[in-house]
């Protein structure tokens, strides 16, 4: 049985170009911090990768810090900025109510540091309410965290407008761009964010490599002490092969087929009384389709889909195993029961229309049987 993978928002298959770059970099066994030729060769490969990522973001070489991925980047941004500002007049931090768990779960640590954490509501369609943010932000706010696009329902937020609101009060803006990086075009200046997190494994790169954009002049305290790597922002010997694979995925020019595949999938489902679309047609990621099957538990259906050869999910992969209803759907106004009926199908650059249509047929068959 040929399987159909529709969970690209969780992780995408490693691209051949990324694999080749990693295999080549594995031969660079020198420590990048060493002064000898072997060390310099490894360091040069990291610098080449940093140039690639910086160019993709339209930012300075020195503004890119390599990390292990989106979760570490988020923690470095939020906790690093908070530690750096301890003792100052700004003691409030604002998150959107639909942020990724890696953002929301920093709340306890922030509270221990003495910060008050507040959340911005969102609309039924999953968009952050700008007026609510404007009413919340003042000179006591240190940082506002808003994701570029939601990992569950795919809504793309107006980050630049939200950034203007934050900056007007002198607050920093952190943006989780893990879902949008190399999926929709943008630069750091487009978002006007002070801190931006990205990762490699959502775009066909390896797991274990990501980056944090830190706007020049923004103060961040390092969370990992060590040998002064990554401009003294992240101690520890860099994973040269993972970083090389990440950069190769950034540069890869494989034709992106996620939107036609997603559209074909939804077209097949349109009109069915057994399936409701949660993701709206405007301002959502081109590969996202979040559905509700009223009266059907998502976990049970996911198991049946898996047995039928389809990989999908019920929400954030970073909350796998949780029996709690989706905090994103709850923030959008869905009941706990409705939240447990949600399924996420996410298409990647290698998805095909044929796969999408076959998956839709299987889903409809399972939903009606």
Return the active site residues.
Answer: 318
Q: Helical H runs in the chain?
A: 16-25, 37-57, 70-84, 101-104, 107-112, 130-136, 159-168, 188-191, 229-232, 240-251, 258-269, 298-307, 327-331, 336-339, 353-367
Cβ-defined contacts of 356-362 (< 8 Å, 24+): 356/6, 356/261, 356/262, 356/264, 356/265, 356/268, 357/264, 357/265, 357/268, 358/4, 359/4, 359/6, 359/265, 359/310, 360/264, 360/265, 360/266, 360/268, 360/269, 361/268, 362/305, 362/308, 362/309, 362/310
Q: In angstroms, how far is CA 215 from the centroid of its own chain?
A: 19
Instruction: Evaluate whether 173 touches 146 at the Cβ level (below 8 Å).
Output: yes
């Amino acid at each position: 049985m040929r399987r159909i993978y529709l969970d690209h928002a969780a992780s995408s298959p490693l691209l051949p170009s990324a694999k080749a770059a990693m295999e080549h970099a594995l031969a660079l066994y020198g420590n990048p911090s060493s002064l000898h030729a072997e060390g310099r060769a490894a360091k040069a490969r990291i610098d080449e990768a940093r140039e690639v990522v910086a160019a993709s973001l339209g930012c300075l070489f020195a503004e890119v810090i390599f990390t292990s991925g989106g979760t570490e980047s988020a923690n470095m941004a939020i906790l690093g900025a908070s530690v750096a500002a301890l003792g100052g007049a700004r003691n409030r931090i604002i998150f959107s109510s639909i942020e990724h768990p890696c953002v929301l779960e920093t709340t306890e640590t922030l509270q221990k540091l003495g910060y008050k954490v507040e959340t911005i509501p969102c609309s039924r369609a999953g968009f952050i309410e700008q007026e609510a943010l404007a009413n919340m932000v003042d000179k006591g706010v240190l940082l506002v965290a808003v994701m570029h696009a939601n990992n569950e329902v795919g809504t793309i937020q107006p980050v630049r407008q939200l950034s203007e609101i934050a900056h007007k009060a002198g607050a920093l803006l952190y943006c989780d761009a893990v879902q949008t990086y190399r999926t929709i075009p943008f630069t750091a200046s487009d978002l006007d964010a002070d801190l931006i997190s990205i990762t490699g494994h959502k775009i066909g790169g390896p797991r274990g490599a990501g980056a944090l954009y830190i706007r020049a002049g923004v103060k961040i305290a390092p969370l990992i002490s060590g040998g002064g790597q990554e401009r003294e922002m992240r101690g520890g010997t860099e994973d040269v092969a993972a970083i090389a694979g990440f950069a190769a995925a950034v540069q890869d020019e494989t034709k992106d087929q996620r939107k036609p595949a997603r559209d074909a999938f939804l077209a097949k489902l349109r009109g069915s009384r057994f399936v409701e679309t949660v993701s709206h047609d405007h301002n959502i990621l081109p590969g996202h389709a979040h559905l509700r099957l009223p009266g059907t538990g998502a976990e049970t259906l996911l198991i049946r889909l898996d047995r039928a050869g389809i990989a999908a999910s019920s929400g954030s992969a970073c909350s796998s195993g949780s029996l709690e209803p989706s905090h994103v759907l709850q923030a959008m106004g869905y009941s706990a029961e409705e939240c447990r009926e949600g399924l996420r199908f996410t298409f990647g650059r290698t998805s095909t229309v044929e796969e999408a249509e076959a998956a839709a047929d299987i889903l409809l068959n399972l939903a009606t049987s």
